[in-house]
Amino acid sequence: VNRMIRVQGVYVVLVSEKSEALFPQIQLATPVFKKEFARRAGEIHPEGMIEGKLAPFQEAFEKAFALQPNLIYFLTRSRFDPALLQVVEGLNKDHKTHVNTLAFLREGKAFENPLKEMARKNGGTYKLVSAETLKPGAEEAAAATQTR
């Protein structure tokens, strides 16, 4: 979000037992918004058990695609039902929306491969966000994390 310019819009959907928008509508990436985003993002705490489920993830993607975005970032540390790949494919039939995926603090082929596939099929990129990239002073390391 910090790298976005003020004419770019941001809409964040959080996924737990249900999906919920962080803000009620698209927000422009102004300095005021970025400060509020950082504050709210710092207050987010995972809730519920969504590992391997479809419904909460599907609901979040439906909300995001309803806004007809150019780009969606999907960051998760939970496995999802493999049927989500078909759901996203159906929501993005025209391939107008790119979907970038990020594996957050979780590695392994079983977890990463579906994220890589989703990104590939939707014109996006995949990235692993590891504990190493999140260490204080690791900004350079985060920028250098290879896209797989």
For 4-47, how does the pLDDT look when each residue is reduced to its tens digit (9 = 90+)?
898 988 888 888 777 888 888 899 999 999 999 888 887 877 66
**What is the predicted pLDDT for the residue at 46?**
66
**What is the predicted pLDDT for the residue at 20?**
85
- pLDDT tens digit sequence for 90-131: 999 999 999 999 988 667 788 899 999 999 999 999 998 877
Which range is most confident: 21-35, 67-81, 89-103, 131-145? Answer: 89-103
Contacts of 109-112 with C-beta under 8 Å, sequence gap 24+, read 110/79, 111/79, 112/148
Query: Rounded to whole angstroms, how far apart are CA atoms 122 and 95?
Result: 6
**What is the predicted pLDDT for the residue at 146?**
41
- Higher pLDDT among residues 136 and 11, named by residue: 11
Under a CB-based contact definition with an 8 Å cutoff, are residues 84 and 98 in contact? no
pTM of the complete model: 0.79
**DSSP 8-state code for residue 136:** T
Q: Does 69 score more than 80 pLDDT? A: yes
**What is the predicted pLDDT for the residue at 99?**
94
Burial of 95 (0-12, 13-18, 19+ CB in 10 A): exposed
**What is the predicted pLDDT for the residue at 57?**
92
**What is the predicted pLDDT for the residue at 147?**
41
Q: Does 134 score more than 90 pLDDT? A: no
Residues 76-100: what's their mean pLDDT? 94
DSSP calls for 53-103: BSHHHHHHHHHHHHT--SEEEEEESS-B-THHHHHHHHHTTT--SEEEEEE
